């Protein structure tokens, strides 16, 4: 599974994704809420910062750009300052905004959130102020949007419709766009509005409602896997779509296709803010499917990016590096941290491609004590990924004598793996780690300061490649030998 995910991320490339929908500006007004107004029992917000982010369909564009795609935007903004700010933000991320049409009869859709900061740290949304007009766009304006869509379709790899029910994606416009995309052989993905009638999305390729949206569309509450399966099947058959990806919050997503009916689970998250999660899922599915990814892998990847997004505040993007780090962390969590050398080298290649610093240290770590923990925490501070070369039982006996180790190599590895500061462990049989160092090629080599006069094994090799050697401070009086002797004396 993890290999497929990593392969997909590596193959995302730079697809051209055509996004049609409700482009919005998210405004975050931060301030200190330190007192209650004397005029009314409400907090007073002393503004300290105002931040602008892409929202709605613009959030999908930003998410796609962060994943390496080229967004092509079709939509409307008002002839106002917020419209200028939004188009400037889209230009900054490299989006094609030739299809963004300005209208004088409505404002740029914006959502302004007032964020109180308690003690300058804890963010709390106090209020949201929306500026919008949701009546359907005039026919002549819809024609402008459709003309822009026709002009952009041939150069796009895939199409996304992001519908927030703000009057742009009318039934007639959706139907025409889906038909044009189908004729052109383009997949078309839809994130639907909260409505009971999905007929305008019929014959799309994929539809991605969340639990509440799907419940509204099918007329019953989705509370478990059984009701999710029933809803997904109804939607797929009713709309004649290839796939339904029904997002289920902490449970992951239910995937329904012609031959797949299953929940694709996700890991539990510390949810900070669900704003923008649906945008992130749509963007990820679009990027993955243009890379010829299968549906299950695409949904797994969307679970990961959506999960990372909800751990952030407000509408936020997710970078490729974050996705790879998450996949690697999940893989380590499932398979443990102990690796054969050849498998370890493959994984380190991934980290290097993300410009992460590889740190290496080694030792017996027979009876773990405070000195070891402080040493390994120091090692983690020297870079991104810590690899620990652990002396095998035979190696320890050769160095320490026939009565050692006290703990077997497997037991020692399991104890060390429980430390957050360690990313990988690999065993070696030789008296010194020089062969291991030459295979791993670390950027940083860490040893205890007691090696300053003894000569650090591998120093010349690491420094010749542009790396560095760092000597770690030791906790006085702490060693495995001293601990063992104290136990014996008792």
Residues involved in catalysis? 279
Cα–Cα distance, 192 to 278 (Å, whole number): 10
Residues 6+ positions from 161 with CB-CB distance below 8 Å:
20, 21, 169, 174, 177, 188, 189, 190, 191, 201, 204
For 287-332, strand residue ranges (E) read none
Cα–Cα distance, 391 to 220 (Å, whole number): 60
Residues 6+ positions from 456 with CB-CB distance below 8 Å:
445, 447, 469, 471
- 190 HSE (CA, 13 A, CB side): 30
Token readout for 45 is: 């917000």
Burial zone of 319 (CB within 10 Å; 0-12 exposed, 13-18 middle, 19+ buried): middle
Closest of 176, 94, 87, 82 to residue 132, by C-alpha: 82
Q: Virtual CA dihedral for 145, 151, 156, 162, nearest 10 degrees?
A: 0
Strand 188-191: give its sheet, edge to edge. 96-103, 70-78, 16-21, 158-162, 188-191, 206-207, 243-247, 253-256, 261-264
Residues 6+ positions from 100 with CB-CB distance below 8 Å:
23, 73, 74, 75, 76, 77, 87, 90
Q: β-pairing, 96-103 with 70-78?
A: parallel
Residue 444: strand pairing partners: 359, 468
Given a contact cutoff of 8 angstroms between Cβ atoms, the answer to whether 216 and 253 are in contact is no
Cα–Cα distance, 176 to 153 (Å, whole number): 12
Cα–Cα distance, 429 to 446 (Å, whole number): 20
Q: In this structure, how many other beta carbons lie within 10 angstroms of the beta carbon of residue 268?
A: 9
């Amino acid at each position: 599974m993890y290999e497929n995910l990593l392969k997909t991320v590596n193959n995302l490339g730079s697809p051209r994704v055509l996004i049609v929908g409700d482009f919005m500006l998210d405004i975050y007004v931060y301030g200190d809420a330190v007192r209650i107004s004397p005029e009314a029992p409400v907090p007073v917000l002393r503004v300290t910062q105002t931040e602008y982010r892409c929202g709605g369909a613009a959030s999908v564009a930003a998410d796609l750009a962060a994943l390496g795609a080229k967004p092509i935007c079709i939509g409307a903004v008002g002839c106002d300052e917020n419209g200028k700010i939004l188009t400037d933000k889209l230009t900054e991320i490299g989006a094609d905004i030739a299809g963004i049409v300005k209208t004088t009869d409505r404002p740029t859709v914006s959502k302004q959130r007032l964020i109180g900061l308690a003690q300058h740290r804890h963010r709390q949304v106090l209020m949201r102020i929306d500026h919008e007009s949701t009546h359907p766009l005039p026919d002549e304006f819809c024609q402008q949007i459709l003309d822009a869509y026709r002009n952009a379709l041939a150069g796009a790899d895939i199409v996304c419709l992001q519908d927030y029910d703000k009057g742009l994606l009318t039934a007639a416009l959706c139907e025409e766009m889906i038909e044009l995309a189908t004729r052109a052989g383009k997949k078309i993905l839809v994130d639907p509005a909260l409505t009971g009638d999905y007929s305008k999305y019929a014959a799309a390729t994929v539809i991605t409602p969340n639990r509440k949206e799907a419940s509204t569309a099918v007329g019953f509450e989705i509370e478990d896997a059984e009701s999710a399966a029933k809803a997904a099947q109804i939607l797929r058959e009713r709309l004649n779509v290839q796939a339904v990806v029904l997002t289920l919050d902490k449970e992951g997503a239910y995937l329904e296709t012609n031959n797949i009916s299953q929940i694709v689970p996700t890991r539990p998250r510390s949810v900070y803010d669900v704003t923008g999660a649906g945008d992130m899922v749509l963007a990820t599915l679009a990027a993955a499917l243009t890379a010829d990814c299968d549906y299950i892998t695409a949904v797994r990847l969307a679970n990961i990016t959506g999960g990372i997004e909800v751990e952030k505040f407000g509408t936020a993007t997710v970078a490729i590096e974050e996705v790879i780090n998450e996949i690697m962390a999940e893989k380590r969590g499932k398979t443990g941290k102990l690796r054969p050398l050849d498998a370890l080298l493959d994984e380190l290649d991934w980290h290097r491609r993300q410009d992460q610093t590889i740190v290496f240290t080694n030792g017996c770590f027979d009876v773990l004590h405070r000195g070891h923990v402080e040493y390994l925490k120091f090692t983690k501070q020297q870079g991104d990924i810590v690899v620990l070369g652990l002396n095998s039982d035979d190696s320890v006996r050769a160095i320490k004598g026939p009565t050692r180790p006290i703990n077997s190599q497997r037991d020692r590895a399991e104890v060390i793996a429980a430390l957050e500061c360690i990313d990988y462990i690999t065993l070696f049989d030789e008296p010194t780690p020089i062969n291991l160092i030459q295979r791993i090629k670390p950027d940083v080599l860490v040893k205890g300061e007691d090696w300053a006069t003894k000569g650090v094994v591998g120093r010349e090799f690491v420094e010749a490649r542009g790396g560095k050697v760092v000597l770690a401070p030791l906790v006085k009086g702490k060693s495995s030998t001293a601990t063992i002797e104290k136990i014996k004396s008792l």
